[in-house]
Chains A and B, each alone.
Chain A
Amino acid sequence: MKIAVASGKGGTGKTTVSANLSAVTGIKLYDFDVEEPNAKIFFKGNEKSRDVYRPVPEVKENCTLCGVCREVCQYNAIVVLKDSIMIFHEICHSCGACVYLCPEKAMDEVKRKIGEIIDVYKNGKCILTYGKMDIGEVSPVPIIKEMKKDMEKNAIIDCPPGASCPMVESVKTADFVVLVAEPTPFSFHDLKIAANVVKELKKPFGVVINKYGLPYNIEERCKKENYEIIGKIPFDRKFAEKYSKGELIKDKEMFGEIYDRILEIL
């Protein structure tokens, strides 16, 4: 079973929930938030890294400067100069259109490094896999796709924030989605967007309210939307203190209950 932890708004506690769920259940954690992976703060160990690449075009000598590649490029990544072609790999989205449609077959695909996937081992056991995107890259999706290739059967996924492609790519693989929200209008607004995405993907989901106890009544609003609340993490200074030291909450009861509730729903 794969559980994805997403949120919509960032900073609501995805990593807190996913890391603690992983620690309490012993299910391996995958940090798909490759633009800013932070689950590693809680899971230290020996790191083993491998590079991730994506294909980008390169011009061969038989190019006639006809400009078809530039016309088909939807990302303005190609420029035709008087006597050469200029390609901006960092803007290229690896769609492959220029290579496919070149009438002279004058384009090749070459590999461009876009990030790394890192396995963290403790006592010989891999406890965390996280991705790290290189600065300036256009999309984390290829790294997430690569990470999904060899996942364990049971997994907890710390998703990227938002409700766009990286989040969709991460949530798509899950059997259940935990949406973490905090009692603020902003978080509730984004929670609804994320919930709509998850519904569209036909995934069962439940809401965990973090910083529970803040005055905004998110609980009532969730009920109105028919969102099931599967857990509450109280607004408590000691949690923030632990986080700041890189320590897990490790509350077996609190996170165990969330996990049990997920199993019940499934």
Chain B
Amino acid sequence: MKIAATTVKGGLDDTIIDIFGRAPYFTIVEVDNGKILDVEVVKNDNAAASGGAGIAAAQLMIEKGVSSVLTGRVGPNAFNVLSSAGINVYDAAGLKVRDAIEKLLNGELETVASPGKGGGMGRGMGRGRGGGRGMGRGWM
């Protein structure tokens, strides 16, 4: 089975971060019978997308044949895609990828049962009111 972890640089010794859609790198680990067979580090091309980063990341998980995702929070859209695709999401933020996989295999990780705060980072669509309204980056 394939397990994906959200990481800053990637690799088994990297720490899992609690961002899903805008994680810089995904570390995808192939595990069989409790043994690590292969490690693939995939750059997240949509980390800086103006929108829909979580959806694109979820699509990548599907394409890579991932069955479990180790992360922290997942936005509502991405959560929707992952659960529709039958991919399990586990809370492993702050753990090393290697340790998190061991915990997962031992059944020690908690699943993320609902979408956390998502869609926030890097969107730049904001318009503040009151004191001043921003130069909201628009569309078209």
Interfacial chain A residues near B55, Cβ < 8 Å = 76-77, 79, 88, 91
With both chains docked as a complex, state the minimum distance between the C-beta of A159 and any C-beta of chain B, in angstroms: 12
Interchain CA distance A10-B133 in the complex, whole Å: 4
Q: Which residues of A contact B (CB under 8 A)?
A: 8-11, 35-36, 70, 75-77, 79-82, 86, 88, 91, 93, 138-139, 141, 161-167, 169, 186, 190, 193
Interchain CA distance A98-B2 in the complex, whole Å: 31
Interfacial chain B residues near A193, Cβ < 8 Å = 135
- For B50, B53, B130, B139, the residue with the greatest tally of chain A CB atoms inside 10 Å of its CB is B139
Give the nearest-CB partner of A167 in chain B.
Answer: B138
- For B130, B131, B136, the residue with the greatest tally of chain A CB atoms inside 10 Å of its CB is B136
Please tell me which one of the listed residues A9, A81, A139 contacts residue B132 in the complex, with CB atoms under 8 A apart. Answer: A9
Contact across chains for B138 and A164 when beta carbons are under 8 A apart:
yes
Q: List 20 A-B contacts (CB under 8 A).
A: A9-B133, A10-B128, A11-B131, A76-B51, A81-B62, A81-B84, A82-B85, A91-B51, A91-B77, A139-B139, A141-B138, A164-B136, A164-B137, A164-B138, A165-B138, A166-B136, A166-B138, A169-B140, A186-B132, A190-B135
Interface residue? B129 (CB, 8 A): yes
Interfacial chain B residues near A75, Cβ < 8 Å = 50-52
Contact across chains for B139 and A10 when beta carbons are under 8 A apart:
no
Contact across chains for A10 and B59 when beta carbons are under 8 A apart:
no
Interfacial chain B residues near A169, Cβ < 8 Å = 140
Contact across chains for B134 and A36 when beta carbons are under 8 A apart:
no
Contact across chains for B53 and A164 when beta carbons are under 8 A apart:
no
Contact across chains for A86 and B132 when beta carbons are under 8 A apart:
no
Interfacial chain A residues near B29, Cβ < 8 Å = none
Interfacial chain B residues near A162, Cβ < 8 Å = 127, 133-136, 138
Interchain CA distance A166-B140 in the complex, whole Å: 9
Contact across chains for B127 and A93 when beta carbons are under 8 A apart:
no
With both chains docked as a complex, state the minimum distance between the C-beta of B67 and any C-beta of chain A, in angstroms: 13
Contact across chains for B133 and A70 when beta carbons are under 8 A apart:
no
Tell me whether A88 and B52 are in contact in the complex, defined as CB-CB below 8 angstroms, given that A141-B138, A141-B140, A166-B138 are known contacts: yes
